[in-house]
Amino acid sequence: MTTTSPYEKALAGLDALHAEDPRRVEVDGESLPLELWHAGRMTAWLERLVESPDELVRLAVRGQHLQRWQVPRGDYPEGRVGYLTWRRDQGQRAGERTAEVMREAGYDEASAARVASMIRKQGLGRDEGTQAVEDCACLVFLENYFADFSRQVDHDHLIRIVQKTWKKMSPRAHELALGLPMTAEARALVEEALAG
């Protein structure tokens, strides 16, 4: 008889929720739910970023964007305050929902609360787990979204965004980011931001 660990149950529960995302992305000729693909990219970066991440960090990284499509950015006011409020609310929602999935899978309250805290980015710069979640999110952004994003945002504003993103990342994440394949335009923007 095979037994499924709380970790395996929680991971399967998170991925089942990710798979409900109605938005799709085409990857190697296959149509995937966008959020499920995004969670996979987060996990892939964690494997490169941290030598032996524990299961709580793995679950926090996997749940970071949980059900994000349910509250679109457009539901909040335009501008920086609206964006920061939306992002904070998304972290709160994802943390709570991930903790709920973990409790249903058999985790204790302390473990569920720890993961929710990492997803909310509490202790950024001081807590290794929270830093790993932030690093993975930044790397996924730079790898997959930055080129398109850079064509939609004013140049000076974009430079500030890159600089703020860079400040939140660990030295190891900086190394990995600098090794990313980028278009010449995207690389020039990053280099300009880092020189400033």
Rounded Cα–Cα distance for residues 104 and 99 (Å): 9
Question: 181 and 118 share a domain?
Answer: no
**1 falls within a domain:** no
Region 175-181 average pLDDT: 92
Please, where are the H alpha helices in the chain?
A: 6-18, 34-49, 55-63, 79-105, 109-119, 128-144, 146-150, 155-168, 171-178, 184-195
Question: 40 and 136 share a domain?
Answer: yes
CB 101 within 8 A of CB 39: no
**149 falls within a domain:** yes
Confidence (pLDDT) at 122: 94
Question: 46 and 102 share a domain?
Answer: yes
Question: 122 and 163 share a domain?
Answer: no
Q: Which residues span the domain enclosing 151? A: 145-196
Q: With 70 as the cut, is the pLDDT of residue 91 above it?
A: yes
Residues of the chain with pLDDT > 90, as a percent, come to 76
Confidence (pLDDT) at 3: 64
Region 1-17 average pLDDT: 90
Residues of the chain with pLDDT > 70, as a percent, come to 98
Confidence (pLDDT) at 184: 84
pTM for the full predicted model: 0.92
Question: 31 and 118 share a domain?
Answer: yes
What are the tokens at 144? 């997959």
Picking from 190, 70, 187, 87, the residue whose alpha carbon sits closest to that of residue 134 is: 87
Region 129-157 average pLDDT: 90
Q: With 90 as the cut, is the pLDDT of residue 145 above it?
A: no
Picking from 72, 66, 38, the residue whose alpha carbon sits closest to that of residue 145 is: 38
How high is the mean pLDDT of the chain?
A: 93
CB 78 within 8 A of CB 98: no
Question: 124 and 36 share a domain?
Answer: yes
Return the exposure string of 3-34: e unless at least 16 CB atoms fall within 10 Å of the residue's CB, then b.
Answer: eeebbebbbebbbebbeebeeeeeeeeeebbb
